[in-house]
């Protein structure tokens, strides 16, 4: 038997990081088993579906390494509508489903509770198809449905506790529960790997598989992804869009590595490992049962490690979208002609050790490419105290006299300026840094001044001095 897994997102919004984890888990499992990864776009929610969301899914999968052409599909659920209806008809004709025209209010009136499930009122009343008549599955009265799950063992659900659930609406359109089962059957899916939030629906789906005469797939329900409050990650509340992390400057390798640690860990006391190790070691039966905490701070630290591990040339290339404003990245505060590739290459090794996401490159190097620095007013107020004007005067005089404009000479010169005033280097260089870069923190100051050059450095210090008059 060829293993066939599927990833079936809906094109109704940005690509959720939890969905990305599921895609990777399915992808790896298929590769390990010599099987097939199927991409199915579940696009039957016409009111919310948008073509751009579908393209967003494809591009997000590309980014995390599941490239187009390497999987089967994408298929579209809407194209299988005839099969969905045919399956509903077979279930009705075989007596495994029946029509019902009860409203929620009808059920509540009969049971006396708004929390009571459907009471089977129309099970044996012989109601036929018609407008407003929903089709319900006839759940067995006795026995239990056992779900064979690679992660959770064999969860067992008593059939008497499963209500006769709707499989087709009053207008005849099949509900998602049935469409999902029929699609999996049509595509020959052998293993369904998905989040545990789908587990309550699994016995219903398994009953449908059996009623349609097809052996159910093997299930694997991975732990749900939660936030720091242990709440399920929500698009309305949490930062969950994979595209947002990509556009902020997270590396695909770091994101893949981190997502695979949500509920699983490689061997040994390690977390940051080559992708080949994850592909070899990942096992569904080793996935934890407890909820997986998506820790953005930890992801950020991961990303910083991945950035620092890049060869400098690759780091320079990776920064280009933020430096040039290409694609979906917001444009930098300088014009394209102001960007100096050689100057950036000179400071790139310094910047690489200081940023955690690639978008942070802009505020670290913008002073190099602007006619004048973007002054952080809070930094200015904090730094430019009494005596700063005279210190800047002395710094200009000392720098003007330098024969060699290099980091070491600049450092020793400014150190001497501060010593005459009884100041340590940290206090001495703070006003100079703000005058030249606009900020109190950033790349090493003297290496920055060396790249910026004598003329531009002196011009900026003089401008700051005039502002202090």
Query: Do residue 433 and residue 389 come from a single domain?
Result: yes
Closest CA to 180 of 211, 3, 189, 235: 189
32 domain residue, yes or no? no
234/17 Cα distance (integer angstroms): 10
Q: Within this chain, do residues 396 and 454 fall inside the same structural domain, yes or no?
A: yes
Largest CA distance in the chain: 102
pTM summary value: 0.91
Q: Are residues 384 and 435 in the same domain?
A: yes
Q: What are phi and psi of 302, to 5 degrees?
A: -55, -50
Distance separating alpha carbons of residues 181 and 86, to the nearest angstrom: 13
Catalytic residue check, 235: yes
Q: Is residue 213 part of a domain?
A: no
Q: Are residues 356 and 316 in the same domain?
A: yes
- SS3 track for 394-435: HHHHHHHCCCCCCHHHHHHHHHHHHHHCCCCHHHHHHHHHHH
Residue 463 placed within a domain = yes
Among 365, 395, 430, identify where a domain stops. Answer: 365
User: How far lies 340's CA from each of 249, 332, 343, 365, in Å?
Assistant: 21, 13, 5, 11
Residue 154: the pLDDT is 95
Residues 462 and 408 in one domain: yes
pLDDT string in tens for the chain (469-residue length)? 899 999 999 988 889 999 999 999 999 999 999 999 999 999 887 767 778 889 999 999 999 999 999 999 999 999 999 999 999 999 999 999 999 999 888 888 887 666 678 888 899 999 999 999 999 999 999 999 999 999 999 999 999 999 999 999 999 999 999 999 999 999 999 999 999 999 999 999 999 999 999 999 999 999 999 989 898 888 888 898 999 999 999 999 999 999 999 999 999 889 999 999 999 999 999 999 999 999 999 999 999 999 999 999 999 999 999 999 887 788 899 998 899 999 999 999 999 999 999 999 999 999 999 999 999 999 999 999 989 999 999 999 999 999 999 999 999 999 999 999 999 999 999 999 999 999 999 999 999 999 999 999 999 999 999 999 8
Beta-strand relationship, 191-195 and 218-222: parallel
41 within a domain of the structure (yes/no): no
Q: Does residue 56 lie in a domain region? A: no
Residue 421 is encoded by which pair of tokens? 């005033």
Are 416 and 334 in the same domain?
Answer: no
Same domain, 318 and 394: no
Tell whether 258 is covered by a domain: no
Which of the listed residues 365, 388, 403 is the one where a domain comes to its end?
A: 365
Any idea what the CATH number is for the domain that residue 410 is in?
Answer: 1.10.10.350
* Shared-domain flag, residues 326 and 391: no
Q: Give residue 182's pLDDT.
A: 98
Rounded distance between C-alpha atoms, residue 125 and residue 139, angstroms: 16
Radius of gyration over every alpha carbon of the chain, rounded to an integer in angstroms: 31
Active-site entry in 235, 239, 382, 385: 235
Q: Provide the 10 A C-beta neighbour count for residue 49.
A: 18
> Do residues 381 and 463 both lie within one domain?
yes
User: How far is the C-alpha of 252 from the C-alpha of 348, rounded, in Å?
Assistant: 20
- Preceding peptide of 380 cis, ω within 30°: no
Residues 442 and 400 in one domain: yes
Nearest-angstrom CA–CA distance, 398 and 428: 13
- Give 181: exposed, middle or buried? Use CB within 10 Å, 0-12, 13-18, 19+: buried
On whether residue 353 sits in a domain, the answer given is yes
Boundary residue ending a domain (365, 388, 408): 365
pLDDT at site 115 = 61
Residue 327: inside a domain: yes
Check whether residue 395 and residue 459 sit in a common domain: yes
What's the number of domains the chain is made of? 2
Residues 361, 381, single domain; the answer is no
Main-chain phi, psi angles of 75, to 5 degrees: -95, 160
What are the distances in angstroms from CA 439 to CA 59, 398, 464? 37, 22, 13
Domain coverage including residue 315:
310-365
- The three-point CA angle 452-455-458 to 5° equals 90
């Amino acid at each position: 038997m060829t293993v066939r897994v599927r990833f079936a997102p809906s094109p109704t919004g940005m690509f959720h990081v939890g969905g990305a984890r599921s895609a990777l888990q399915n992808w790896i499992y298929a590769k390990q088993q010599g099987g097939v990864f199927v991409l199915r776009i579940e696009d039957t929610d016409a009111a919310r579906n948008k073509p751009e969301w579908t393209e967003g899914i494809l591009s997000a999968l590309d980014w995390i390494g599941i490239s187009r052409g390497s999987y089967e599909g994408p298929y579209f659920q809407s194209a299988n509508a005839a099969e969905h209806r045919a399956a509903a008809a077979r279930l009705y004709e075989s007596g495994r489903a029946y029509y019902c025209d009860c409203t929620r209010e009808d059920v509540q009136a009969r049971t006396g509770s708004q929390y009571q499930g459907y009471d089977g009122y129309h099970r044996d009343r012989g109601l036929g198809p018609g407008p407003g008549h929903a089709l319900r599955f006839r759940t067995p009265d006795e026995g239990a449905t056992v779900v064979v799950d690679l992660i959770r063992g064999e969860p067992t659900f008593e059939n008497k506790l499963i209500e006769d659930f709707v499989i087709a609406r009053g207008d005849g359109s099949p509900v998602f529960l049935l469409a999902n089962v029929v699609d999996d059957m049509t595509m020959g899916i052998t293993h369904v790997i998905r989040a545990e939030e789908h587990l309550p629906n699994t016995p219903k789906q398994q009953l449908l598989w059996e009623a349609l005469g097809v052996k159910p797939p093997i299930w694997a329900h991975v732990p749900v992804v939660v936030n720091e409050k242990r709440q399920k990650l929500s698009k309305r509340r949490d930062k969950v869009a994979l595209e947002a992390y990509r556009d902020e400057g997270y590396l695909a390798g770091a994101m893949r590595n981190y997502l695979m640690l949500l509920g699983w860990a490689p061997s040994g006391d390690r977390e940051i490992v080559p992708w080949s190790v994850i592909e070899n070691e990942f096992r569904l039966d080793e996935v934890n049962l407890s909820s997986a905490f998506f820790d953005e701070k930890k992801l950020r630290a991961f990303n910083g490690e991945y950035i620092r591990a890049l060869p400098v040339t690759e780091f320079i290339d990776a920064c280009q979208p933020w430096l040039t404003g290409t694609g979906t990245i917001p444009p930098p505060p300088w014009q394209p002609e102001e960007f100096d590739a050689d100057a950036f290459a000179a400071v790139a090794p310094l910047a690489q050790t200081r940023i955690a996401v690639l978008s942070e490159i802009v505020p670290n190097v913008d002073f190099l490419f602007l006619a004048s620095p973007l002054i952080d007013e809070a930094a200015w107020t904090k730094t430019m105290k009494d005596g700063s004007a005279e210190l800047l005067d002395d710094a200009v005089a000392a720098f003007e006299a330098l024969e060699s404009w290099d980091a070491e000479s600049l450092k020793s010169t400014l150190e001497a300026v501060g010593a005459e005033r009884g100041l340590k280097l940290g206090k001495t260089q703070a006003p100079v840094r703000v005058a030249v870069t606009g900020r109190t923190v950033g790349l090493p100051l003297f290496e920055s001044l060396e790249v910026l050059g004598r003329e531009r450095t002196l011009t900026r210090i003089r401008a700051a001095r005039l502002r202090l008059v």
